[in-house]
Amino acid sequence: MTLLTILFDGVAYGMLLFVLACGLAVTLGLMNFVNLAHGAFAMAGGYACAILVNRAGLPFFAALPIAFVVSAAIGAVLERSLYRHLYTRSHLDQVLFTIGLVFMSVTAMDYFMGSAQTFIHLPDYLQGQINLFGLGVGRYRLMIIVICGLLTIALQMILSKTRFGSRLRAAVDDPRAASGLGINVPQVFALTFAFGCGLAGMGGALGAEILGLDPYFPLKFMIYFLIVVTVGGSSSITGPFLASLLLGIGDVAGKYYVPKLGAFVIYTMMIVILIWRPNGLFGRTAAR
Amino acid sequence: MTTNSTTHPEVGQFAMARAQWRWPEVVFWLAAAGCILLFPNRYLILTEIAWLALFALSLDLILGYAGIVSLGHAAFFGFGGYAAGLLALHGIVTEPVIALVVAGLAAMALGFVTSFLVMRGSDLTRLMVTLGIALLLRELANRFSNITGGSDGLQGIEMAPILGQFSFDIFGKVGFIYCLCVLFVLFLLARRIVHSPFGLSLRAIRNNPLRASAIGIPVNRRLIAIYTIAAFYAGVAGALSTQTTALASLDGFAFDRSADLMLVLIIGGTGYLYGGLIGAVIFKLLQELFSTLTPQYWQFWIGAVLVVIVLIGRDRMHRWALFLPRLIASKFGRAKTPVVAPEGEAP
C-alpha cells in the first residue's frame, strides 16, 4: 500500500462520511438539534437497498435512489410526528430522545433482519481493481468518490444558486429574522431534514460494502458523524466536508501506520480539536 | 468550604431547614435496610441496584446540581472497576474497603484531569468530549490487553473478607449489605455537600452561570470540584460492581452504560438526591420485566421508555408522580414534601 492508495481510500471513506453526515450538520446548524439517531436513517437506507438488491433482484444503481426515498420518507414522518416537538427543548432532552430512538432502531433491526452483518450483492463491474494512471484503485471506491463528489457539487449548487438554498442559508444564519422575512422556517427545516435523512440512507447503502451493515450501525458510527459535525462546524457545508476528508484520511492512515492504536488516533484528534477550537475547526459562531 | 453565602439570617435558616431530615427519608432508608430480610433470594439484583444507585447519584451531582451534561460518565465507572479489579488480582490492596477508596481516588484523579477538558465550550462540546474520553479509555483498555485482559475482561478476582471479618458469601448477602452501607455513607456525604454553601453555589451556577459569576462565585473552580467528586462516586460504584461480581470488563466503558445511566436518572428525576436511587430501583425492575418478556430485545422497550418520557416531558411526569405523595402530605398537614423543586427553577 502506497501513500497514494491510502490517500485514495481515505478520500473515498471521507466522502462517504460526508454524504452520511451532512444532513446532521444542517439539522444541528438550523435547529440546534442534537440528533444522535442520524445513523438509524443511514441504516434504514442500507437495509432497504440490501433487501431490494438481494431479495427482489433489483440492479444496485436502481436500488440507491429507492434507498434515498425510503430514508427520506421515514425522516419526514418522524420529523412531523415526533422531532418537531423537541426543537425548543434542552440539549439533554434531545439527546435522551434520540438515544431512545437509537436503541429502538437497533433492536428492531436485530429482530427483523438478524444480528449478522448484511452484504449487498454488487454487480461484477464494481468489483476488483482498475489501473488509473499507474495506480491500482478499487472500482467500488472510485464509484463512491464519483457519486459522492457529484452529490457534493450538487448540494453546493443547491445551497448557493437556488431560491430554496438561499432560504435555507438565511434560516441557518438567523431563524428569527428569516421567519420575519416571510420564510416558512419549519417547512424549510422539514424538507431539509427529510433530504438529509435521504442522503444518509443513500450513504448507508453505498457504505454497506466499506463500513459494514449490521443492526449496531447507528451506535458504531454515531461518534464519527458527530466528529464530522462538531469538528467541521455547522455553519456551512464546506466545514463538514473538509472535516470528513480529514477524518477519512486520518482514520485510514491511522489504521495502516499504527494499527495497534486503532480508533485511538481519531478520538484523540477530536478531543484536541474541540479543546483548541470548541466551535469546530471551520465554525464561525457558537452553537446557539 | 468557603463562606460566600449571604449574611441574611432568613436565607441561612431557609437553607438549614431544607437540610433537615424528614420522615419519608427515614422510611426510605429503613425500607432499603428491610430488603436484607424481605428478599433473601434476590440479593444479586439488589446489589446491582445498590451500585447503580450510587452511580446515578454521581451523575446527579454533576447533571442535576451543576448542570454539566455528560455522555461519558461510564469512563469513571470503568476506571474504578478496573482499578479495584487490578488491586485485588495482583494483591496490592486486598482489603475491599481500602481498595474501594483507592479505586475511587484513582477515578477521582482521572476526573480532575479530564475536568479541564470538560469545562470548555457549550453543551454539545461537553457531550462530545465526555463521550470521546469514555471511548478513548475503552480503546486503551482494549489495546493494553496484557494489563486489562482485553475483551475477556479481568477474571479470577478473589476478594478478601471485608475489614478482615466478613467474607463474601455465595448468596451475595454480605455483598449487598456492603454495597448498601457504602451507598448510605456516600449518600450522607453527598447530602452534606449539596446542602452546604458549596452545594448552593452549584445550583446557582446551574440556573445561570453568568449571574453566578456576577455574584462572585468562581464558576470554573466549583465545576471542577464537583466533577472531581462525582468521578470519585462513579469510581466507587465501578469498584463495587467489580468487587461484588468478581469481574471487570470493557462493558464498564461502553456507551450503553452511560446512556442507561441517563435513563436511570431521568426516571428518578434530576436535581434531588433520591432521584438516582429511586430511578435505579425502577430501572432495574423495568429491565427485569422487559427481559423476562422479550429476553433478546429488552433494549427496545428501554428505548421506548426514554422516548415516551421525553415526549411527555420530564417536569410533567414528575408532577404526576408526586401527585399522590403531595396529596397525602397535605392531608396530614405537612406542606412540604422532601422532594426539591424541579430542574430549572431557582431553589
Q: B residues 294-313 near A, CB within 8 Å?
A: 296-297, 299-300, 302-307, 309-311
Residue A129 DSSP class? E
SS3 B115: helix
Task: Give, in order, the Cα–Cα distances in Å from A31 to each of A176, A240, B128.
Answer: 11, 17, 18
For residue A223 the three cell numbers come to: 461518534
Q: Does B127 touch chain A (CB under 8 A)?
A: yes
Cβ-defined contact of A103 to B69 (cutoff 8 Å): no
- Which amino acid appears at position B216 of this protein? G
Task: Give, in order, the Cα–Cα distances in Å from B39 to each of A6, A145, A256, B178.
Answer: 60, 62, 55, 16
Question: Which pLDDT value is given to residue A287?
Answer: 41
Question: Which pLDDT value is given to residue B8?
Answer: 61
CA B235 to CA B54: how far, in whole Å? 10
Q: Best of B307, B308, B318, B345 to disrupt the A interface by mutation (most A CBs within 10 Å)?
A: B307
Query: Angle of helix A217-232 relative to helix A238-257, nearest 10 degrees?
Result: 120
Question: Which pLDDT value is given to residue A273?
Answer: 80
Query: Going by C-beta distance under 8 Å and a sequence separation of 6 or more, which residues neighbour residue A131?
Result: none
Task: Give, in order, the Cα–Cα distances in Å from B243 to each of B82, B188, B327.
Answer: 10, 22, 42
Nearest-Cα distance to chain A for B302, in Å, is 7
Q: pLDDT confidence of B237, banded at 50, 70, 90?
A: very high
Cβ-defined contact of B125 to A85 (cutoff 8 Å): no
Assess contact for A274 and A15: CB atoms under 8 A.
no
CA B312 to CA B333: how far, in whole Å? 31
CA A278 to CA A283: how far, in whole Å? 9
For residue B266 the three cell numbers come to: 431521568
Q: Which residue of A has its CA nearest to B255?
A: A219
CA B65 to CA B193: how far, in whole Å? 11
CA B292 to CA B286: how far, in whole Å? 10
CA B257 to CA B234: how far, in whole Å? 12
Q: Does B254 touch chain A (CB under 8 A)?
A: no
For residue B61 the three cell numbers come to: 451531582
pLDDT, chain B, mean: 82
**Tens-place pLDDT, residues A163-222:** 988 888 888 778 889 889 988 888 888 898 999 899 999 999 988 888 888 888 888 888
DSSP state string for A68-80: HHHHHHHHHHHHH
SS3 A122: coil
CA B250 to CA A187: how far, in whole Å? 44
Share above pLDDT 90 across residues of chain A, in percent, rounded to a whole number: 14
Q: Which residue of B has its CA nearest to A92?
A: B69
CA B322 to CA B272: how far, in whole Å? 13
Closest CA to A54 of A44, A67, A63: A63
Question: Which pLDDT value is given to residue B321?
Answer: 74
According to DSSP, the β-strands at A135-138 and A129-132 are antiparallel
Assess contact for B81 and B297: CB atoms under 8 A.
no
**Tens-place pLDDT, residues A2-51:** 788 888 888 989 999 998 888 888 788 767 788 888 999 999 999 999 99
Measured from the Cβ of residue B158, the count of other Cβ atoms closer than 10 Å reads 10
Helix boundaries (H) for chain B: 9-18, 23-38, 43-60, 74-89, 96-118, 123-143, 145-148, 173-195, 197-207, 209-214, 219-245, 255-268, 274-293, 298-312, 314-331
Contacting residues of A for B127, CB less than 8 Å apart: 34, 91, 95
Lookup result for grid cell 437506507: A45
Tally C-beta pairs within 8 A across A and B: 122
pTM: predicted TM-score of the whole model, two decimal places: 0.84
SS3 A136: strand
Cβ-defined contact of B303 to A97 (cutoff 8 Å): no
Cβ-defined contact of A271 to B136 (cutoff 8 Å): yes
Query: Going by C-beta distance under 8 Å and a sequence separation of 6 or more, which residues neighbour residue B127?
Result: A34, A91, A95, B69, B70, B71
Nearest-Cα distance to chain B for A224, in Å, is 11
**Residue A104: φ, ψ to 5°:** -65, -45
Lookup result for grid cell 480539536: A273
Question: Which pLDDT value is given to residue A92?
Answer: 84
For residue A213 the three cell numbers come to: 451493515
- Looking at residues A234-249, what average pLDDT do you find? 83
Residue B65 DSSP class? I
For residue B344, pLDDT beyond 70: no
CA B103 to CA B236: how far, in whole Å? 6
Dihedral of alpha carbons A258, A259, A261, A265, sign:
positive
Q: Which residue of A has its CA nearest to B304?
A: A100
- Which amino acid appears at position B21 of this protein? W
Beta bridge partners, A131, equal A136
For residue B183, pLDDT beyond 90: yes
User: Which residue in the set B131, B142, B297 is minimally distant from A111, CB to CB?
Assistant: B297
For residue B339, pLDDT beyond 50: no
Cβ-defined contact of A100 to B139 (cutoff 8 Å): no
Lookup result for grid cell 422575512: A181
Q: Does B12 touch chain A (CB under 8 A)?
A: no
CA A173 to CA A53: how far, in whole Å? 41
User: Which residue in the set A111, A268, A287 is minimally distant from B124, CB to CB?
Assistant: A287
Assess contact for A248 and A144: CB atoms under 8 A.
no
Assess contact for A49 and A67: CB atoms under 8 A.
yes
Which burial class, exposed, middle or buried, applies to A161 when counting CB atoms under 10 A from its CB (0-12, 13-18, 19+)? exposed
Query: Angle of helix A3-31 relative to helix A139-161, nearest 10 degrees?
Result: 30
**Tens-place pLDDT, residues A136-145:** 778 888 888 8
Which domains, ranges and CATH numbers included, belong to chain A?
3-276 (1.10.3470)
Assess contact for A271 and B117: CB atoms under 8 A.
yes
Contacting residues of B for A40, CB less than 8 Å apart: none
Closest CA to A136 of A126, A144, A128, A146: A128
Q: Which residue of A has its CA nearest to B130?
A: A271
Cβ-defined contact of A93 to B310 (cutoff 8 Å): yes
Q: Does B17 touch chain A (CB under 8 A)?
A: no
Task: Give, in order, the Cα–Cα distances in Å from B332 to each of B22, B27, B329, B337.
Answer: 14, 16, 5, 11
B251 or B2: which leads in pLDDT: B251
Question: Which pLDDT value is given to residue B216?
Answer: 87
CA B196 to CA B303: how far, in whole Å? 36
Nearest-Cα distance to chain A for B34, in Å, is 34
CA A153 to CA A166: how far, in whole Å? 16
Query: Going by C-beta distance under 8 Å and a sequence separation of 6 or more, which residues neighbour residue B341?
Result: B271, B347
Question: Which pLDDT value is given to residue A170?
Answer: 86
- Looking at residues B146-170, what average pLDDT do you find? 75
User: Which residue in the set B122, B129, B310 is minimally distant from A97, CB to CB?
Assistant: B310
Question: Which pLDDT value is given to residue A235?
Answer: 67
CA B256 to CA B240: how far, in whole Å? 19
Assess contact for A194 and A83: CB atoms under 8 A.
no
Rg (CA), chain B: 20
B46 or A30: which leads in pLDDT: B46
Contacting residues of A for B143, CB less than 8 Å apart: 260-262, 264
Contacting residues of A for B125, CB less than 8 Å apart: 230, 274, 278-279
